Amino acid sequence: MASYDIRPLQLHILKILQAVDKVCQEHNLRYYLWAGTMLGAVRHKGFIPWDDDMDIAMPRKDYDTLMAHAHEWLPKPFEAVCAETDPNYPGPFGKIQDASTTLIEREHINYIGGLYIDVFPLDGVCANKLLQRLNFARYEFWKRVIYYIHRDPFKHGKDLSAVVPLLCQKLFTNHYVQQKMRRIMMHYDYDKCDLIADYDDGKNGIINKAVLGQPTPIKFEDITFMGVEHFDTYLATKYGDYMTIPKHDEQRQHDFHYLDYQLPYRQYDDQRANMKG
């Protein structure tokens, strides 16, 4: 479990989602509460008590529009970060973060940002099962390469475990791998497919687009956001018996490596020895 008080973190990132919701309403962008955030809205009417992040998902066109214009539309200190806006960004999906804070998710990953909410693009998936498996296998391969590019190669010591990360860092650039992953995700047009997925959720996250329906108002911490229209089908597909509280040892959270609510991340002096250039 996390070594810090989760509730202040939850309330902080809730403000980020409120800003994103306002922008989406003003510019007619579709978004859905997603994953544990959608589950929290239904089961807890807000945050899952041990959850320390928030997730939304957006159809690809809406996602790309938000990422391209967030610097104009979002109030300071909030900002969008993704592979298209930051050449060093390590993920295949974007975040809206608070630039007045500092957050290091993992000790051995070289990216520093602020407190955030995750924003997942939703892309089309073909109906052919074999092509599905091939496309998701390619995605998972490059996702692993991205991880090694940004990981301290000596996390497990200066032995054979460092070979693969060092090789990935020598052979590939972040930009090259991000472009490969974007082409894989966008290979099938969202608007022309009956099946869609947040690719980061893997093949098991494929759902019929009709399940999403129209963004549907739902209360979260007594604030109205937009959720999945047919949430029961979505949550049952993703979590099974989703109304049952998991056992204590199955309650997952990040337990972030470093968190500072007062320090802008661009002012953070990174003293991690293996992250020095």
Summarize pLDDT for 62-80 with one digit per residue, the tens: 999 999 999 999 999 999 9
> What top-level class would CATH report for the domain 6-122+205-275?
alpha beta
- Predicted confidence (pLDDT) at residue 26 exceeds the cutoff of 70: yes
Q: What is the pLDDT of residue 156?
A: 83
Contact residues for 45 (Cβ-Cβ < 8 A; gap 6+): 219, 220, 221, 222
pTM: 0.94
Q: Which pLDDT does position 273 carry in this prediction?
A: 67
pLDDT score recorded for residue 1 = 56
Please write the tens of the pLDDT for every residue from 183-208: 999 999 999 999 999 999 999 899 99
State the pLDDT confidence band at 108, using cuts at 50, 70 and 90.
confident
Cα–Cα distances (Å) from 168 to 44, 143, 165, 245, in that order, read: 42, 12, 5, 40
Confidence of residue 276 (pLDDT cuts 50, 70, 90): low
What's the pLDDT score for residue 110? Answer: 86
Kindly tell me the sign of the dihedral angle through the C-alpha atoms of 85, 87, 91, 95. Answer: negative
Domain boundaries, the chain: 6-122+205-275
Question: What is the pLDDT confidence band of residue 106, given thresholds at 50, 70 and 90?
Answer: confident
Task: Using a pLDDT cut of 90, give the percent of the chain over it.
Answer: 83
Among all chains, which residue has been given the structure tokens 């098991």? 204
Maximum C-alpha span of the chain: 53
